[in-house]
Structure 1
Amino acid sequence: MEPIRVLRPDLVVVDWGPMTLSVRAWAGGKPRPVMAAKAAAHALQLLAQLADFQHYLKLDVLDLPRRGRRPAVVAAAAEACRQVALASGVRLTPLAAVAGAVAGQVAQAAWNLGADKVVVNNGGDLALRLALGRRLLVGLPLFPGGPLGHQLSLRGGDGVGGVATSGWPGRSFSPGVAEQVAVWGADGALADAAATVLAGACRVDSPRVTRVPARELDPNTDVPEFMVTTHVDALSDDEAAQALAGGEALARRLLLALPLVGAHFSVSGRKLVITRQAGGGLLARRV
């Protein structure tokens, strides 16, 4: 099977090894499959670069030198995680932002070819490029594959270049109990790293929560001793409120410190949305 397939004029898919990624590009209101396919080919180059830096990507980001020759995708992941680690106090490796960084690099490739609207989906992490006047509606599920819990109406110029999700049921390793945390902000890598730490902040210790060391799930993980949530029974109202409070507190810190626009939390059916307002303040709503 070819790694790159044009499924529709507005949908190109990359399926190769660990990568499953889609690229959609438009210009002048029309889908541009050639632009999308060329950007998709760049994704395969990024995959090869990441393979060469496997060891580097598993190191604590605060221990990494900020100078030195690195592929742009590696540098983007490391810098996003460095910013989030400093703002949150949570230790990270660049792997926490790799999916978002790849999506961002691919989206930029399509944009550089002349697209005025680009959507790249890398395993649920989105990178977006919207020219002024272009719009996009993004649905955020309550949990992976579940019904929508929130919708984002985005416009070119609103400061959103990425939307990323994390949570215990997905592919992420999380110590938290959130079914889903979504973050939207300036770029995909930053949103990816922020979603990771915010999902982990939605934490509660309860007999209803099962956790195991990450090494039991993946012997090659970069965080072998990290306790990962593998099952959550229905939480009590107090437990869900405690988990949401932890996520909200950290979200406020990150939204004030970094170019992030908003976050959406889903914990045992309870939802919270927190967004940056035009005047710079924050608005939190339980919905």
Structure 2
Amino acid sequence: MPGAQANWLPDGQRLHLHHGPIDMIVGIEGPGREAAFQRAVARFGTLLKELVTELPRLRSPVGGPVEGETARRMVEAVRPFAPEFITPMAAVAGAGAETILRAVLDGTGVRKAYVNNGGDVAFHIGPGEVMRAAIAGPEPGQVAVRSGDPVRGVATSGAGGRSHSLGIADSVTVLARSAAIADAAATMIANTVDLPGHPGIARVPACEVSPDSDLGARAVTRAVGALTPAEVAEALEAGRAHAAGLVTRGVIHAACLSLRGQCVTVGETSMIEEREPEHA
């Protein structure tokens, strides 16, 4: 496998980091941005090796003792969801983004920064700043987070994402205090947007699609056929109820769930705006 690569995007302002299955985009504003980008590149070069070393434990539902910075974030992020089935891998993208962001902030002069790891985003917002990010859904929208808001992570999951889903959601976007928690929560909520036993939903054991999947033989969604508006509403309501419980417990701050053109939101939705985004 080629080593870690770092290249500027065409705008010359954002950095693309790539290594194996990991693709990140890093944006930084402030007088210390040059040194901060250098710290991000240096830290990224060690990230994948650290994760691979601990994969057996990270793919286990109980997690097991871990040593690496990112692995520890993953284990902590999934604790609030026990005793439901979940492994630390549900938080891998968000936790990885946080690790690189910590390196970015390990210095001065960073006014605003974000690390987007395949759509799961960790960010830093200095006083008076606003961070905006596009969110998936039937209508163009964005999340606008201000420095005084408690949210520092946004993540999206669904049946059409990079990872396998037990549910049928087109997308579930979650706002939480960290990207790792948002990542895990988006996965769990997306799993509950479902119509168990529906004949139009094709499922296969996860291990048949990915032999090393942490989901084992659990049935993951491969295709969703025609659904009536009432069925869509039923599936979304199951996910909404689960998300509302996480909001009540303080695990997440807000969530936006979408399926077949219908959308529901829960929690502190004032940060979700229906207009074209400034940052993709």
Q: How does 1:238-249 map onto structure 2 within 5 Å?
A: 238-249=230-241
Q: Report the CA distance shift for 1:277/1:136 in structure 2 as closer, same or farther (over 3 A).
A: closer
Residue 215 of structure 2 is matched in structure 1 by 223
Shift of the alpha carbon at 1:237? Answer: 1.4
After TM superposition, the runs of 4+ consecutive aligned structure 1 residues lying more than 4 A away are none
> What is the TM-score of this pair, normalised by structure 1?
0.87
Aligned mate of 2:120, from 118, 121, 125: 125
Residue 90 of structure 2 is matched in structure 1 by 96
Q: How many residues align?
A: 265
* Cα distance in structure 2, aligned partners of 1:75 and 1:265: 28
Q: How does 1:156-171 map onto structure 2 within 5 Å?
A: 156-171=147-162
Aligned mate of 1:208, from 200, 204, 207: 200
Asked if 2 retains the 8 angstrom alpha-carbon contact of 1:6 and 1:12, the reply is yes
| Secondary structure of the corresponding residue to residue 148 of structure 2 | coil
* Cα distance in structure 2, aligned partners of 1:59 and 1:274: 30
Asked if 2 retains the 8 angstrom alpha-carbon contact of 1:208 and 1:233, the reply is yes
Asked if 2 retains the 8 angstrom alpha-carbon contact of 1:90 and 1:197, the reply is no
Q: Report the CA distance shift for 1:239/1:157 in structure 2 as closer, same or farther (over 3 A).
A: same
| Secondary structure of the corresponding residue to residue 121 of structure 1 | strand
Q: How does 1:8-27 map onto structure 2 within 5 Å?
A: 8-27=11-30
Asked if 2 retains the 8 angstrom alpha-carbon contact of 1:6 and 1:33, the reply is no
| Secondary structure of the corresponding residue to residue 43 of structure 1 | helix
Amino acid at match of 1:109: A
Amino acid at match of 2:103: A
Q: How does 1:25-104 map onto structure 2 within 5 Å?
A: 25-27=28-30, 32-61=33-62, 64-65=64-65, 70-83=67-80, 85-86=81-82, 89-104=83-98
Aligned mate of 1:153, from 144, 157, 169: 144
Higher relative contact order (CA 8 A, sep 6+): 2
Superposed CA RMSD: 2.0
Q: How does 1:134-283 map onto structure 2 within 5 Å?
A: 134-142=129-137, 149-205=140-196, 206-276=198-268
**Structure 2 unaligned blocks of 5 or more:** 271-280
Residue 274 of structure 2 is matched in structure 1 by none
Amino acid at match of 2:67: R
Amino acid at match of 1:57: L
Percent of aligned positions with the same letter in both sequences? 33
**Structure 1 unaligned blocks of 5 or more:** 279-287
